[in-house]
Every structure is written in structure tokens, then in C-alpha cells.
């Protein structure tokens, strides 16, 4: 019997050929698993891609990229992007307030607070700003610099006082007395609300040696904390 060549189709189907009385069966070609593996990998990669946000958050510790829009003149939007750490499930942070009782020179007890000062207050440590007093500080108290700043922000002009408040000055000296070079006795917690078109500093940082030589009771540093509020933008500039 003449041997007949085996075709590719017969090879795939396991067809044999006869040679004499003997039947030779061609071994069926093994099934290729490569396409199947590629399909499985595509499915897995697709699932990972769809859930990439959760996987990435778990990797970077819940950090996200947050886009912010700043609208300027002529409604021109500027896109700013930057990394911002966020924790979705964490409760809102409540700043810690440390309270301290101070005995004033008149034996009265006054409580001052050590609490965070909002950035909008533009607080400056050891600084005393000059200005027209829209609210006299003697007898006008605030428990903290933040509270004094808030009183300035909320101040409204009234008869005899045509100005708003754009400068606040608070003293948190724990001694009970807030030293000043004038003849008045200033107590801890005094809150001055002032106005001045152009901010001017009375004193800042350390008192000069020659000043302390003249004023023997002056402390090393200016005891006040002050801030100048930013002028609100006019409607035309918005």
C-alpha cells in the first residue's frame, strides 16, 4: 500500500495511514493554550485597571491629586494641581485649646486660651501695630489672639467711629500685666481694635538695649501679638 502524505487537517484530527496490514495513527497535535492564557490575562488586567483607584489609594496611604480652580479676572480659570493628603474616613480635626488662668493686678482671675490663629488673621508674634483705636483696649478683653482677630473682623462702624477694624493687637503675657511704655496699666488679655490706612509698626521683636536702659521694667521682647487684615477686594476687581 502506497503511503499517503498526511495533511495538516488530518494531523489535527488524529487521522492515521495504513501501511500493509499495519495502521499507523498520527499523534494528535497538542492543543495550544496560549490564546486561552492571553484571554485570562486580559480579563485580569482589565479588572485591575478598573479598580486602580482603590489599589493606588491603598499603596500611597490615601493620598490623592486634587485639582483646584482659581477664577481670576474675565472669568479666566487657572487649573492648579498638587498632592493633598486626605483620609476619607477620618473625623474632622478639632484644634486643641490649652486654657490657662491668669491673675490680673486687680486680683481678678482671667482665663486665656492658647489656640490656633486662622491664617486670615495674619498674626505676627511680638509685634505691636499703631493705629486709630476703634475699640479701646483697656477693659476690652479677648481670651486669645484668635478671638481678638475675630472681634476685629466682625467690628462694624458706629456713630462717632466711622471706620472698620483692620488691625488687631492682643496681649497674652502670662504675668497678668502687659507692659507698655505709656502711663496706663495694660492687663493680660487686652484686645485693641484699630484702623490705619497704611499699617505702621510701633515695636517688633526685641526691645532695643537703649530702650530697655531707659525703661528699666521693659521685658526683652514685645509682649503683644498683632495682625493686619487684608483689605477686601472691590466689586470691580472681582
Give residue 65's pLDDT band: very low, low, confident or very high (50, 70, 90). Answer: very low
Tell me the per-residue pLDDT of 142-180, one tens digit each, with 9 for 90 and over. 999 999 999 999 999 999 899 999 999 999 998 888 998
Q: 164 vs 78, which has greater pLDDT?
A: 164
Domain locations in the chain as residue ranges: 34-85, 98-237
DSSP string, the chain: -PPPPPPHHHHHHT--EEETTEEEPPPPPPPP-HHHHHHHHHHHHHHHHHTHHHHHHHHHTSEEEEEEEEE-GGG-EEEEEEEEE--TTSPPP----EEEEEE-TTS-EEEEEE-PPPGGG-EETTEEE--EEEE-STT-B-SSHHHHHHHHHH---BTTB-----EEEEE--TTSEE--SSSS-EETTBEEEEE-SS--EEEESBPPHHHHHHSTT--SB--EEEEEPPPPPPGGG-
Per-residue pLDDT tens digits for 174-215? 888 899 888 888 899 999 999 999 999 999 999 999 999 999
Give me the percent of the chain exceeding a pLDDT of 70.
Answer: 59
Please compute the mean of the pLDDT values over residues 39-61 and round it to a whole number. 54
pLDDT reading at 51 higher than 90: no
Amino acid at each position: 500500500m502506497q503511503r499517503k502524505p498526511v495533511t495538516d487537517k488530518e494531523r489535527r484530527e488524529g487521522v492515521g495511514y495504513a501501511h500493509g496490514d499495519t495502521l499507523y495513527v498520527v499523534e494528535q497535535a497538542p492543543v495550544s493554550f496560549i490564546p486561552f492564557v492571553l484571554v485570562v490575562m486580559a480579563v485580569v488586567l482589565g479588572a485591575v485597571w478598573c479598580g486602580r483607584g482603590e489599589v493606588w489609594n491603598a499603596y500611597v496611604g490615601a493620598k490623592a491629586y486634587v485639582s483646584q480652580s482659581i477664577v481670576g479676572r474675565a472669568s479666566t480659570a487657572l487649573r492648579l494641581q498638587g498632592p493633598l493628603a486626605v483620609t476619607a474616613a477620618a473625623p474632622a480635626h478639632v484644634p486643641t485649646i490649652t486654657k490657662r488662668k491668669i491673675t490680673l493686678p486687680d486680683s481678678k482671675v482671667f482665663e486665656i486660651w492658647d489656640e490656633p490663629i486662622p491664617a486670615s488673621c495674619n498674626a505676627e508674634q511680638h509685634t505691636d501695630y499703631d493705629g486709630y483705636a476703634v475699640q479701646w483696649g483697656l477693659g476690652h478683653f479677648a481670651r486669645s489672639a484668635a478671638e481678638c482677630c475675630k472681634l476685629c473682623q466682625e467690628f462694624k462702624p458706629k456713630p462717632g467711629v466711622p471706620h472698620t477694624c483692620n488691625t488687631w493687637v492682643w496681649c497674652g503675657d502670662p504675668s497678668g500685666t502687659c507692659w507698655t511704655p505709656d502711663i496706663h496699666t495694660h492687663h493680660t488679655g487686652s484686645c485693641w481694635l484699630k484702623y490705619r490706612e497704611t499699617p505702621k509698626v510701633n515695636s517688633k521683636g526685641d526691645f532695643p538695649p537703649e530702650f530697655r536702659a531707659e525703661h528699666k521694667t521693659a521685658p526683652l521682647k514685645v509682649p503683644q501679638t498683632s495682625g493686619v487684615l487684608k483689605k477686601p477686594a472691590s466689586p470691580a476687581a472681582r
